[in-house]
Amino acid sequence: MASALPADPALPPVDARPVDGFDPVAAYRTMVLIRTYEERILQARTEREVIGPVHPYIGQEAVAVGVCAALEPRDHLVSHYRGHGHALARGVDPDALTAELFGRADGLCGGKAAALVSDPATHLLLSSGIVGAGIPVAAGAAMTSQVKGDGAVAVVFFGEGALGAGVVHETLTLAVVQRLPLILVCENNGYQGATRTEEVYPETSVARIAEAHRMPVHRVDGNDTLAVHAAATAAVAAARAGQGPSFIEASTYLTRFHLQFDRPSGEHRPAEERADWLARDPLGRLRQHLLAAGTAPAVLDALDTDAEQRVDAAITFARTSPWPAPEAALTNLWAATP
């Protein structure tokens, strides 16, 4: 059953106890922002306001938010083409992000990147459009921390499809041997584009692949924000303590589809599988947790409203931002020598 985590008794159970300092209400706020943002971005893509492909993150919000809540501002982050959730969880400005997706002058990267954003303000190095390719780049940021002794760690997000790429295995080898302060977060959603991973991999537990590289592994329910956060906190602590890299396998699901161009994707998933995952939606689960813990429903409803207003403002900002000057196409090929 696709909704269940694959059984693997050789691996220890996840320690999902809440971690001190974690604010689940703040996590809920960010997850609602990501969800609301993505729904509107898909709509804006249909209306051809967003340029290029949109790869939605809907259904996986707990991973980005749980991991980013375990980071400090000094830490480095590498994302990929499905990176809106990572960017917002990391604190990237929604106005600049949206203007970038609209190809406008006020975009985070001046309209040159669309979804493949970088943002030095939040140490978001790269959102690679090539599967697996950002993983060695994050390893390099971890090398810098190691050489400079600044205590920062580097985190990279990727799907399980990245484990098909040779450079990922090269990086796992290098990172373990060199004890790099690197946290690899695999968002295992069971699909590589429209292809089911079980059809193309001999081993669908990517945690075992990481273990074969002698990398410590945390396996978590990726729809459980608290569980993700607990694993990320442990991995970050180990990396800061000089114990080297960790691998987090977060089992999750994309409840929509792989990507959208002008029209919503016609991609279909088995109805039972999708329904099963929708019943375990990360926002609903965190909301239930908060309500059970005594949070007033009105508090959470207000966060939903806040998210709508914030996204409205970002869309308006993007719509009113000018197009880039044509000559900007030729700028910033080379850095100036300071």
- CA–CA separation, 315 vs 321, rounded Å? 10
Please, which residue, 110 or 282, has the CB nearer to other proteins? Answer: 110
Which run of H or E residues covers position 219? strand 217-221
Q: What does the longest C-alpha to C-alpha distance in the chain come to?
A: 59
Kindly write out the interface string for residues 95-114 of this chain, putting x where it contacts other proteins by CB under 8 A and - elsewhere.
Answer: --------------xxxxx-
Tell me if 120 contacts other proteins by CB under 8 A: yes
Does residue 141 bind other proteins (CB under 8 A)? yes
327 binds other proteins (CB under 8 A): no
| Shortest reach from residue 142's CB to other proteins, in Å | 8
Contacts of 53 (CB under 8 A, 6+ apart): 81, 115, 259, 260, 261
For residue 74, the one-letter residue type is R
Residue 24 C-beta: closest distance to other proteins, Å: 31
CB of 71 or CB of 135, closer to other proteins: 135
User: Does 72 sit near other proteins (CB under 8 A)?
Assistant: no
**Close Cβ partners of 132 (under 8 Å, ≥ 6 residues apart):** 158, 161, 162, 163, 164, 165, 167, 168
Binding range to other proteins, per CB under 8 A, among 38-46, 125-133, 194-202, 307-315: 125-133
Give me the least distance between CB of 84 and other proteins, in Å please: 17
Q: How far is the CB of 172 from other proteins (least distance, A)?
A: 9
Smallest distance, Å, CB 65 to other proteins? Answer: 24
Candidate ranges 13-21, 86-94, 170-178, 276-284; the one touching other proteins (CB under 8 A): 170-178
57 Cβ contact partners less than 8 Å away, ≥ 6 residues apart: 34, 38, 64, 82, 83, 84, 85, 86, 254
Instruction: For residue 111, give every residue at least 6 positions away whose Cβ sits within 8 Å of its Cβ, in sequence order, or none.
Output: 99, 100, 103, 104, 105, 323, 324, 328
Residue ranges in contact with other proteins by CB under 8 A: 76, 78, 109-113, 116, 118-120, 125-126, 128-130, 133, 135-148, 154, 166-167, 170-171, 173-174, 177-178, 331-338
